[in-house]
Structure formats: structure tokens, C-alpha cells
Amino acid sequence: MISRTPPALLELAVQSLLRDQALAIPALEDLPRELFPPLLTEALAQRHSEILKAMVQVWPLPCLSLGSLMERGHLDILASALDALDLLLAQKARLRGWKLQVLDLREGPQHHCGVWCAATARPSLPEVRGKRLREKTGQRMEAQQPLRVFIDVSLKDGTLDECQTYVLLWALQRKDSLHLCCHTLNIFTKSIHIMRKVLETLDLSCIQVVEVHCGWELCTLAAFAPYLGQMRNLRKLLLSHIHVSVSEDLEEESLITQFTSQLLNLNRLQELSMDAPNCLEGHLDQVMRSLQSRLHRLALTNCLPSASDLEHLSCWTSTSQLKHLDLRGTKLTNLILKPLRLLLQRVAATLETLDLEECELEDPQLQALLPALSRCTQIKNFVLTGNHFSMDVLKDLLRHTGRLSQLSLELYPAPLESYDAWGAVCPERFSKLCAELMAILRDIRQPKRVFFMCVSCLQCGYQVMYNLGLSPCRCPVPA
């Protein structure tokens, strides 16, 4: 006989209320607030629009999360919830019992925790004092706090999905009553017209992350810049493939200035990533000097910087406390690396990640950096793959970095001696050289994750790797 766990009392109460809407709706005002989150979850699952509408009007918690409606595309249920809010927003002053401060329409379970935490948490002393203050000041204070509505925004070519469009139009018509907030703005469109329509609806001061995932012309970046300058709480900015069109050549200086002048307002920026910023090559110094905040992460990837770009690398205020420096794919072969060496010395006490993959570094450049690298005592992740170093220089590198006890991930290129005259890896020679390098490292410290990587196999494209042993390519072994 199968034994079944009887349903909890809370579950029984929720199911009972949902079975009889005529009884449930009048009873909502008298329900304990702990019952509201599970009742909401079940009402959404069963698409009880009338109960949902009534719950919104008497919601007893600061946050109401309805992101699942956006995720599932339930426009009709979402419209019912917003209609209920309209009845409350239409009042000139909030009712004394109205607790709702945030409507969260972001997708994903990570945005639902606030509902449950708020339901079970006991009021703290400041909360009790705030309640007494509100009782003294009455509805005047309640009227000063606009409702905040949080939404995910991904701008793509074409039209937004139905739910996003509905919320944006709804919020636009009620700008005086609420703030439409977006934490992360992802942009996949080159149309400034689409961006303007959405950005002029959002409370730009709420945006903390902006990621541009498509190639823009410089004029698009300049047109976006005034909106960027209003994002005063921005923490992360990612730009990719910004280029100059033929028609922009004569205006290039002016357009770049329009962008850099807005960077002066980003006092809280912590992460700046620029991938293939072709139009900014030759102007990187101007960009970095415009930043007033101290960055935690700087990524300048897949670009061809000039000597003037990096000349003041170590002097920029924004790079004085870097934790993560990513220069992947940035060609450094023909540059004087003194600015990079000085920067590493300057951030030696804070730097945790250094990524120099595919920078076309050779023995002289690495040797110039070794004294500075040996001072980076906090470094945890160090990537040098895709460069060209001899066995002797790699030995010297390991001796210099051998005492960096925080290192947890090290990725090095195979020694040049691992390849034959045609550039193909010789597995036995590669394995022997790597074993020798590991022995040097173990004499100094106990390494954690250390990998030596060859270039991809010319036949199968697989990358030969050495860790505790050799990981060969996928080519069939000849009989």
C-alpha cells in the first residue's frame, strides 16, 4: 500500500480559497500576510484572474513579483493585474494600508525571493519607527513614494514581445504615478529609433548594467551617449565592435567627444569592457581620462592599440585599483610595454585576474613584464595561452611567479620547442618539456590547476593540452 504525505494546513487553506472565489475575495483583507505568497503562486498557476486582481489591491507586502506572467506570455492575466493597480494609482494619495512599493516583472526564479523573505521577516526597529512616522505624517508621505516597476529589457531589431510592449505602453501613460526601472539593459539592435522609444520610458537612474551585443557605427554610439550620461548608477558597461563608417570620417573627433563627455557622469562605474572598439583606437586615452570612478574590471579585447593609447595606461585614475585586467586578442608585439609594466606594479596589491591570451607576445615582451608580475601577490587567474615563448623564458616565468600562493588557475602556451619545422606539435617532446616545467613549479610551491596549451592541430582542429598528463588531439593513431 502506497503511503502519501497528507497536504500541509497552508496548502489546504490555499486550495479552499481558490475553490470558492466568492468567498475568497471578500476574505483577502483579513488573511494573514504569510498566506499571500503561496496563494499568489497557486492563483497564477491556475490563472484565476479575478482573485489575482483582488490580491493586487490588498497586497500586504512591499514587493509583488509577477515575472512568471512575462516568462509565460500570459498577457491577459498580466493585464488584469495592471488594471487592479490602475484603481490604486488613480487615487491622489495612497490608502493608509497600502504596503506595495515594488512590482517586479523580471523573469526567472531569482526575482521571487523578495516576496517570500518579506512575508516571513519580522519588522526591524527602523521599520517600526518608520511606521510610526507615517502614522504621524498621514497620507502626505505615502503620496511622495511612486510605485517602482522592474522589468527586463532586451532591445532587438523588430518589435518587442507582447508583454513587454504592453507594460511599456502602460507605464508611459502613467509616468507621473510610477517609475519604470530596469537593472540590466541588453541591446541587440542598431536602430537608435527603437532605443529612443524605450529609453525615454525608463527611469535611467535605475540601470546598473548596459551590454551592447551588436556592432554600432560611431554615430549610433554618440546618439546613445546622452541617455548613457543619465545612468548615474551604472556599474557595468560593455561595448562591442564600434566602428567608423566612411561618412563619419570628418566628424570622428566630434562624435567621440559626444561619447566621452557623458562618461564624466558615470561616477559608480566598476566594469568597462570594450571588444573590438575600432573607432576608439587612437582615442583610448581620451576615453579612459574621462572616467572618474575607480574600475574593478577593465577589458580591452581584440583591438590594435597605438602607442599613444597605452602611453598613460598606468596614470589613469580609473585603473589604480583594478582587480581584473583582460587584454585578450589585443596585439602588443610592436608596442613598448613599459606602461603595462608600470600598471602591473601599481595594481600589484589588488589584481586578481590577468588575461593576456592571444596578445602575440614573445620572449622579450614577457621578460620585460616578469619583475612586475612577481609582485602581483593577490593574483588568482593568469592566462598566457596563444603567445610564443621559448622553454628558457617559460622556466624564468615560473620561477618569478612561483611564490604567488593565491594562484588557482594558470594557463600557459606550449614551449616553442614543442613544435616541428612545419608548426605541428610533437606530442612526446611536448609532454617531456611540460613535465620538466611542472617539476620546477613543484619545487617552489604546490600548484593547483596548471595547463599548457598547444596551438590547434592542423588536421582535426583539436587543441593538445598538458595538465597532469598529455591530452592528445583527435587524429587517428596510425597502425
pLDDT in tens, 354-370: 999 999 999 999 999 99
Supply 155's cell numbers.
532591445
Residue 177 inside a domain? The answer is no
pLDDT higher than threshold 70 for residue 143: no
Question: How confident is residue 323, by pLDDT bands cut at 50, 70 and 90?
Answer: very high
Percent of the chain with pLDDT over 70: 83
Residues 30-49 have a mean pLDDT of 82
CB 178 within 8 A of CB 212: no
Of 13-27, 198-212, 368-382, the range with the lowest mean pLDDT is 13-27
Q: Which of 142, 177, 199 is the last residue of a domain?
A: 142
Q: Which of 142, 171, 186 is the last residue of a domain?
A: 142
CB 311 within 8 A of CB 339: yes
pLDDT higher than threshold 60 for residue 96: no
Number of domains composing the chain: 2
Residue 462 inside a domain? The answer is yes
The 10s digit of each residue's pLDDT in 233-292 is 999 999 999 888 777 777 888 999 999 999 999 999 999 999 988 888 888 889 999 998
Residue 201 inside a domain? The answer is no
Q: Which of 89, 116, 142 is the last residue of a domain?
A: 142
Residue 41 inside a domain? The answer is yes
Higher pLDDT pick, 71 / 438: 438
Residue 94 inside a domain? The answer is yes
pLDDT for 129 equals: 41
The residue range of the domain holding 365 is 304-479
pLDDT higher than threshold 90 for residue 205: yes
* Average pLDDT, rounded, for the chain: 83
Residue 196 inside a domain? The answer is no
pLDDT higher than threshold 70 for residue 24: yes
Residues 444-454 have a mean pLDDT of 90
- List the CATH number of the domain containing 314: 3.80.10.10
pTM listed for this prediction: 0.85
pLDDT higher than threshold 90 for residue 468: no
Residue 460 inside a domain? The answer is yes
Of 12-21, 54-63, 155-164, the range with the lowest mean pLDDT is 12-21
User: If DSSP states are collapsed to H, E and C, what string results for 86-154?
Assistant: HHHHCCCCCCCCCCCCEEECCCCHHHCHHHHHHHHCCCCHHHHHHHHHHHHHCHHHHCCCCEEEECCEE
Residue 358 inside a domain? The answer is yes
Buried b (16+ CB within 10 A) or exposed e, 109-147: eebbebbbebbeeeeeeeeeeeeeeeeeeeeeeeeeeeb
- For residues 407 and 145, give the distance between their C-alpha atoms in angstroms, rounded to a whole number: 48
